[in-house]
Amino acid sequence: MPKSYRVKFTLTLKIILFVILYVVGIVSVWFISKDDLQTAEIKFKMMEYAYQMDNIILEVRRYEKNFFLYQTTTALEENSKYVQQAEETANTVYDQMVYLKALPLIKELKKAIVAYRNTVRVLSDGQILEQEEYQKVVSTTRDLGQQMTEKSARLLEFERVQLSNIIRELKSQIATMTMVAICFGFLIPFFAFFGIFKPLRSIKKATAAIAKGRFKPVDVINTGDEMQQVMEAFNTMVYELERRQEQLVQSQKLSSIGTLTAGVAHQLNNPLNNISTSCQIAMDDCDNGNEALLSNMLDNIYQETLRARDVVKGLLEFSRSQDFKLRTAQLKDVVNRSVSLVNSQISGDISLVVTIPENLILPMDVQRMQEVFINIIMNAAQSIKQEGVITLSAEVDKTEKQVQIEIHDTGPGIPKEIQGRLFDPFYTTKEEGEGTGLGLSVAYGIIQQHRGKITVRSEPGQGASFFISLPLQEAVEQLS
């Protein structure tokens, strides 16, 4: 079986074929119009000769009438002169009308002119004719003159009709060419829209979504050309960006875990010390048989074990990598859990104040929102050099169907010239080795995934406030 090959119509090939068809159409119309224009030019020339012939014959008839009325020699001479002009003009037209439809008419006209000339010559020879014969010659002359007039008028009318037909045909061709041009005028934007602009618009919307942290691929349009390849390559890029962002988030999370490890160790040290002390007391009093004391010590051991387990569980939940998934959770619980993880890393001179309503429930990815709060709290704490307060508050905006969360610190504030770059990846104002510059960038991406917004407001010497807007459950359902 011979292998069949399918022609691949690339965008370049489509444009080239479109242009070729357009040029061929214009050239074809030009050639057709050129022939008609040349024919029209000939017809205009023939019309000129026909009018000239008609005028000459009218002069012939006028001097003929004068001769029969006044019998003057001058009138007969003028008549003969115009007859000669008519014959010469007829010969000229005949030579140029060899391939034209009016050739039979000019032949008839030539015959009538020759016959008229011969008849008039009898009168101009000066022969004395009898009255009856003279009247016969006069009658024949007038008949032949009438025939010349009629044939000349027919020739003029014929050429006029022919010229009118050519002009009508040219009008039709111009109208057709105009319609074709209009059709091409509609086809070009149509082709450009579906072949180029529509895919580009899809890519533009997807790019804008990526800028907001939503990595959504575009629907590939089966155009079979470079635009389809671009869209497929774009989807590959979206997939890679999404994967790299996950790696970036995980990298920042591991960095945060490294920062939190010392604090977690300190938090674990307290319950372990209490467990050790309780065990020592229980062992010392074991022989005394004080059951109440032993029960109390075992209860202490159990409670401190639960406390240590909660610390480890919180750290493990924070470090675990999982897919983005919204679920309803109490905002205050998420904030308190984040505060407990960073509390030991914050100087004792800095107070953490949480003023969030108990019943405020939001759809969120708990793990990722916890990471947002940890990053912002740690940044705020590092900006406060001495005593200070970090306040986390929230209020519901029922009009906008969202919750406004504010994280305010009493630090030195953020200069206006760098506020616009705070959420850029790898941008940091810390000394080398003290920060990666990814914390706020990752927080920005997480808030965008929640279809929310994060902004900063700060004045020098008045601290800084980070505002996080998150949609309520009903708003999320409407957006889904």
Hey, what are 352's tokens? 């953490």
Closest by Cα among 69, 88, 90, 76 to 122: 76
pLDDT of residue 283: 74
Domain that holds residue 409: 325-480
Answer whether residue 61 is part of any domain: yes
Answer whether residue 472 is part of any domain: yes
pTM of the shown model: 0.44
CATH code at 330? 3.30.565.10
pLDDT of residue 287: 65
Q: Which of 195, 220, 251 is where one domain is finished? A: 195
Answer whether residue 202 is part of any domain: no
Residues 23, 172 share a domain: yes
Q: Which of 167, 195, 223 is where one domain is finished? A: 195
Answer whether residue 318 is part of any domain: no
Answer whether residue 69 is part of any domain: yes
pLDDT of residue 195: 63
Answer whether residue 49 is part of any domain: yes
Answer whether residue 74 is part of any domain: yes
pLDDT of residue 322: 60
Answer whether residue 209 is part of any domain: no
Q: Which of 195, 223, 255 is where one domain is finished? A: 195
pLDDT of residue 249: 60
pLDDT of residue 128: 54
Per-residue pLDDT of the chain (480 residues; tens, 9 = 90+): 444 444 455 666 767 777 777 777 777 777 777 777 777 777 788 888 888 888 998 998 898 888 888 888 888 888 889 989 988 888 888 777 655 677 888 888 889 888 888 888 887 776 656 777 888 888 888 898 899 899 888 888 888 888 888 888 878 877 877 787 777 767 766 666 666 666 777 777 777 776 665 667 777 766 666 667 777 787 888 777 777 766 666 665 555 555 555 555 555 665 677 677 778 777 776 666 667 767 777 777 776 686 666 666 655 655 555 667 888 899 999 999 888 878 767 877 888 999 998 888 899 988 888 888 988 898 888 888 788 899 999 999 888 889 999 999 988 888 887 777 777 665 565 554 444 456 777 788 888 888 899 898 888 888 899 999 999 876 555 545
CATH code at 101? 1.20.1440.210
Domains contained in the chain, number:
2
